Chains A and B, each alone.
Chain A
Amino acid sequence: MTKFHSTGGTLIKDPWDVVAGVMLLGFSLLLLFYLVPNYIGQPPIMQNPMMSPRWLPNIVGWLLLVFSVLMIIQGVLIADDAEDNGRRFERGPLLRFALMALSLIVYAGLFEMLGAVISGILATLILFIAHPVRTWWVYGLAIVFPAGVTLLFTGIMNVPLPMWPF
């Protein structure tokens, strides 16, 4: 990974902060000048502007704008090495991450269609392959756990879930 900052005289001390700050700045501008006026309804007559449904979102928007600018300035001027160490790690293979993302999509996209048990089995198998789990009998757990956890929710805790397709 490219290391932008140093304790010396580089232009940007913490690029993560600058990028996050710029994104937040963009979001706060979007919030203030587009989202609040267009997506928050306001009654025609208002005795006190502080009672308005737009008042707090506007305040939050302006404060976000100020703090995102401060975050950009912080990123330009200050390198927080202690904090940065927690952010940096050695990345694993992309396929592993992609399979994890696929399992999330299986859950979110197919949960109601396939039911909790089958979508659970499918997603768990994908995650076992992603790691990859090399002990063959562990793959049996991909069937046992979704069935067991579904039963725990529906049978014991009385929390309704779609168990099977239809």
Chain B
Amino acid sequence: MENITEVLQLFLATENFVAIAVGVVIGVTVGSIPGLTATMAVALALPFTFSMEPVAAILLLVGIYKGGMYGGSITAILIRTPGSPASACTLLDGYPMAQQGEAKKALKMALYASVIADFISNIALIFFAAYLAKIALNFGAPEFFWLICFSLTIIISLASGSMIKGLIAALLGILLSLVGLDSVFGSQRLTFGNYNLMDSISFIPLLIGLFAIPEIIEFYRKKVIPHLRAKASGAGVSFSELKGSLKSIVRGSLIGVIIGAIPGTGATAAAFISYSDAKRRSPHPERFGKGEVEGVAASEAGNNGVAGATLIPLLSLGIPGDVITAIILGAFMVHGLTPGPLLFQENLPLIYALFLGIMLSSVILLFVGNAAIRYFSLIADIPKSILFPIVLMFCVYGAYAVNNDTFDVWLMLAFGVLGYVFNRTGIPAAPFLIGFILGPMFEDNLRRSLLIGSNDLSIFVRGPITWFFIALTLGSILLALYRFITSRQKAKQSASEPGAGA
């Protein structure tokens, strides 16, 4: 009873409601502007949370995340430009529907599917996070060491593109995370005598530099392309159409939940798996890809089903599953909180206040999404030539605000250039960020294990949990090799097909 009062006290603060609403509005707005991503928005919003209460701060970022997931589908449907990679699947049927004058129907279905999936995902989060955290309370340093190894390998093995590049990115991230004073011996590591680096590389300049600056550099490097305009016209979605797609939405949501709970898999995979599942089960599979409303529903359900579930490993184990949850982890740290099983023991009211806020964000998404459909043209018509200077302003101010030092602005620019080089060379930025976050955790748990075991390496295989994570780590490495071999075989097959490459 005392806990319930405490939870309600934490949750019912006006600041929380404002934070969720503002977060969802920002997310939908940014998501519906091609070229701006939810990741960028979450990174830029992080400095604003410094002075906020922890619950409001996290809810603001979660709101942006959820809003951004839906916002990305607006541009996918209307102008065939997915606002986020996960929305790429939505355009398969959404854009043909828009061309047939049914844009509003596609947008409404995308919204309802998103909200239902989001709700299911949140329920899964509430049920499984606490359960997983309870199990994780039995983990010691060796178990966490192997869990981090597994997380690193699965994130790399499931990263899109080349596995070698994913590994290189993660290694570079780990290396940069080691800059600063050594936590055990206090000796300097790669600081080059610079006192700004002694407290390690600041997370926020790295984040903003890596995810916002490359977009700005690329915009001014590319040839100007004409600005596309679109309108959400036509009739909305009927109740019978929603009912007809409900099974696909629920299935897609569950697919999203399962995929989202595994670190590294992401919303894009969930959207495509959900879409192909709906197509396989549909009595009219031939309509998919030509403007089938169920296709929009399935892909959006898969996409949004991930949103709540990605928070399961973050909250219960302290392991970020993707880039946005990595940023949310940063927000926890800024407020002196460490996600993981201990957070459930020491700060349970805060966790439940967050859960309530996350549930509320789904309801707010419904209202904001409806308004966004109506006023989309106003949002999307703002030219990037005006938007990007403002984005850059937020980047600089946000980076400076971390330590009130221009060193962080230079650092942000350096990471911006690095992010741009990554884009050009096809090295993914996500494993870099995950490596940067997991690097110190990896080293800390390794050293703690050695200290606990008096330098005896057998501590790393001390029980069934360590063996379980060793098996998972090996499994994810084998999965990566399998994916690599099959993708090469497919590439060879398509190259040998008549007419290929001609």
Contact = CB atoms under 8 A, between A and B. Distances in A.
Interface of A: 7, 16-17, 19-20, 24, 31, 35, 39-43, 47-48, 50-51, 53, 56-57, 60-61, 63-64, 67-68, 70-71, 74, 78, 80, 83-84, 86-87, 89-92, 96-97, 99-100, 103-104, 107-109, 111-112, 116, 120, 123-124, 127-128, 130-131, 133, 138, 141-142, 145-146, 149-150, 153, 157-161
Given A43-B187, A68-B168, A127-B392, A50 B192 contact: no
Given A107-B396, A145-B390, A153-B397, A31 B426 contact: no
B393 A67 contact: no
Interface in B411-460: 413, 423-427, 439, 442-443, 446-447, 450-451, 455
A47 B50 CA distance: 41
Contacts of B223: 89-92
A159 B392 contact: no
A148 to B, nearest CB: 10
Contacts of A68: 168
Contacts of A112: 406
B89 to A, nearest CB: 17
Interface string B250-287: 00000000000000000000000000000000000000
A160 B401 contact: yes
A65 to B, nearest CB: 10
Given A130-B220, A146-B393, A53 B187 contact: yes
A15 B188 CA distance: 37
B409 A159 contact: no
B495 interface: yes
Contacts of B427: 20
27 contacts: A39-B189, A40-B188, A40-B189, A42-B187, A43-B185, A48-B455, A50-B447, A51-B455, A56-B178, A64-B172, A67-B164, A67-B168, A70-B164, A74-B162, A78-B488, A83-B426, A89-B223, A92-B223, A103-B392, A111-B400, A123-B396, A131-B224, A131-B385, A133-B383, A153-B48, A153-B397, A159-B51
Given A100-B217, A120-B397, 18 more contacts: A24-B168, A39-B190, A41-B188, A51-B455, A53-B189, A56-B174, A60-B178, A63-B171, A67-B171, A68-B168, A78-B491, A80-B491, A86-B426, A100-B220, A107-B392, A123-B393, A127-B392, A131-B385
Measured as residues with beta carbon below 8 angstroms from the partner, the interface class of chain B is: 35 or more
B66 interface: no
B243 interface: no
A149 B397 contact: yes
Contacts of A91: 221-223
A90 B439 CA distance: 38
Contact of B221 (A84, A92, A138): A92
B424 A87 contact: yes
Contacts of A138: 386
A47 B189 contact: no
Q: Which 6 A-B pairs have CB atoms at the shortest separation, nearest pair first?
A: A41-B187, A100-B220, A131-B385, A127-B389, A158-B51, A53-B182
B61 to A, nearest CB: 14
Given A56-B174, A104-B413, A160-B404, A97 B221 contact: yes
Interface in B171-227: 171-172, 174-175, 178, 182, 184-185, 187-192, 216-218, 220-224
Contacts of B190: 35, 39-40, 57
B164 A74 contact: yes
A71 B165 contact: yes
Contacts of A145: 389-390, 393
Contacts of A17: 425-426
Contacts of B164: 67, 70-71, 74
B388 interface: yes
The DSSP consensus for interface residues of chain B is: helix
A123 B175 contact: no
B501 interface: yes
B47 interface: yes
B393 A149 contact: yes
A60 B190 CA distance: 14
A139 B388 CA distance: 14
Nearest to B443: A56
B128 interface: no
Contacts of B406: 108-109, 111-112
B234 interface: no
A86 B178 CA distance: 32
Contacts of A157: 48, 50-52
Contacts of A31: 175
Nearest to A146: B393
A84 to B, nearest CB: 8
A70 B443 CA distance: 26
B394 interface: yes
Contacts of A124: 389-390, 393
Nearest to B411: A108
Given A57-B178, A83-B162, A116-B397, A16 B426 contact: yes
A149 B390 contact: yes
Contact of A48 (B171, B426, B450): B450
B424 A16 contact: yes
Contact of B171 (A64, A130, A153): A64
B59 to A, nearest CB: 15
A49 B386 CA distance: 55
Nearest to B439: A56
Contacts of B386: 128, 133, 138, 141
Nearest to B451: A51
B220 A92 contact: yes
A24 B443 CA distance: 23
Contacts of A56: 174, 178, 439, 442-443, 446
Nearest to B440: A56
B161 interface: yes
B188 to A, nearest CB: 6
Contact of A71 (B168, B189, B220): B168
